Amino acid sequence: MDVGELIGDHRLWEAIEACRGVRITPGHLKRLADRFGPELARFASTQPALQLSAKRKFAGADQMLFERGALEMATHEAVSAWRASQFPEGVLVTDLTCGIGGDLIAFCRRGSAVGFDLNPDAVHLARHNLAALGLQGEVHVGDALQHLDVLQYGFIDPARRNPNGRITSIGEYLPDPRLVFSELKGARRFAAKLSPMVPDAELRSLGKAVDFIGHENQCKEALVWTGSEVEPRPYRAVDVDTGETLTETDPPPTVTAARGIIAEAKPAAIRAHALGHFAAEALGDTPGYLTADTIAPSPWLKRFEVLVDHAADVTRTRAALRAHGGGTPVVKSRAKIDVEKLQRDLGGPGEELVILVYANGPKLRHAVCRLLEG
Ligand SMILES: C[S@@+](CC[C@H](N)C(=O)[O-])C[C@H]1O[C@@H](n2cnc3c(N)ncnc32)[C@H](O)[C@@H]1O
């Protein structure tokens, strides 16, 4: 029985409800199999746990159906809604690799959309998920590469060749985005979702513009744009939670010791090389910390008042912590150190202060700080 038949079985939701809130043991699965048949029982038994973990991404997860690998690859709805908003009103958007529908749902919410995927199970799940959310949109089994010459507005979220590895090159995707971009004949606005770990040279050579998408204080993706309606532009950081954007700047000058304030920038701003906006200098040589006598509040920054700043030395740092009423600190480090060990070594009763560890070449420094509001 394929996933389409399982979804079409009128007893599916009864079987899912029979698994909700229950620890699925072999005995429970056998009783379910006796009642619903083995395949429906197996499929239904996976759904409550998948729906629960899908709530992190989809508000309507309880009505949706999933497969674990495809759920892990699915885009969070806050990100997909922002992406969909970047396409003009009223145009048909084609999602070339729709999976279980994470992005396709958002495209259908904004207007007409069609999805393709090579995997028939994913297509069945995406069809169900659209219908369950009251959305209209076609979903077909198909190869992304077959639809490129007629497409005007579209999106691709390619699969990873090695699903468990960190992607550090465009060549690790299926289908290869370079092939996709080269075959687009009449595209007006087209985007590819790639890992932000892909190097600048590869991202810049692929398309006309790149957005680094921030969500929940992480840089989630590099979104590479091409097409006749896309103007070439510098990198842009986009925070989908606040709607804030920042464009690429020249890098700020670097200093080797902290001044009155240290600010930690959000990862999307760091990745978009947009740290020149804050009238501050880069601290040390690990990107992301800025310092100045004062730094204005910004939705892109977490700011810290610097109480003490010195070469890394646990004894001195413990004394400085205690002198400022500090207890077991929060340790933040962009240098490669054992953060938990340092936290244990410095621990004691008192106010929660923050130790920022930063590097100047091989030398580390400790800044004892207090988190500022706003
Ligand atoms: C990262 S997932 C897409 C996730 C989707 N954007 C979401 O939010 O749910 C990639 C999908 O690409 C599909 N795929 C891989 N190669 C393909 C191809 N040549 N044509 C169509 N789909 C393909 C895979 O089956 C997989 O479902």
Q: Per residue in 117-127, pLDDT tens?
A: 999 999 999 99
348 pLDDT tier (thresholds 50, 70, 90):
confident
Burial string for 211-244 (b: 16+ CB within 10 Å, else e) reads: bbbbbeeebbbbbbbbbeebeeeebbbbbbeeeb
362 and 303 assigned to the same domain: yes
236 and 259 assigned to the same domain: no
The answer on pLDDT for 163 being more than 80 is no
41 and 118 assigned to the same domain: no
Q: Of 94, 118, 172, which is best to mutate to test ligand 1, by the most ligand atoms within 8 angstroms of its C-beta? A: 118
pLDDT for 352: 87
Angle subtended at Cα 140 by Cα 173 and Cα 73, rounded to the nearest 5 degrees: 35
pLDDT for 161: 78
Q: How many domains does the chain have?
A: 3
Distance (Å, whole) CA 87 – CA 189:
7
Considering the entire predicted model, what is its pTM?
0.94
HSE-up of residue 280 (Cα within 13 Å, Cβ side):
30
Q: Ligand 1, closest atom to CA 143?
A: 20
The answer on pLDDT for 327 being more than 90 is no
Measured CA to CA in angstroms, residue 17 lies from 45, 48, 60, 132 at distances of 9, 8, 16, 16
CA of 115 to the centre of ligand 1 (A): 10
CA of 98 to the centre of ligand 1 (A): 5
Judge whether 81 lies within some domain: yes
Judge whether 148 lies within some domain: yes
Verify whether ligand 1 is closer than 6 Å to residue 175 (CB atom). Answer: yes
Verify whether ligand 1 is closer than 6 Å to residue 174 (CB atom). Answer: yes
Verify whether ligand 1 is closer than 6 Å to residue 94 (CB atom). Answer: no
Judge whether 75 lies within some domain: yes
37 pLDDT tier (thresholds 50, 70, 90):
very high
Of 172, 170, 173, 247, the C-alpha closest to 207 is: 170
The answer on pLDDT for 166 being more than 80 is no
Q: What is the CATH number of the domain that holds 101?
A: 3.40.50.150
193 and 259 assigned to the same domain: no
160 pLDDT tier (thresholds 50, 70, 90):
confident
Verify whether ligand 1 is closer than 6 Å to residue 221 (CB atom). Answer: no
46 and 122 assigned to the same domain: no
259 and 241 assigned to the same domain: no
Of 212, 237, 208, the C-alpha closest to 222 is: 212
Average pLDDT over residues 17-30: 92
CA of 343 to the centre of ligand 1 (A): 42
Average pLDDT over residues 226-234: 98
pLDDT for 299: 97
85 and 182 assigned to the same domain: yes
Domain that holds residue 45: 3-54
56 pLDDT tier (thresholds 50, 70, 90):
very high
Q: Please give the biggest Cα pair distance in the chain.
A: 71
Percent of the chain with pLDDT over 90: 87
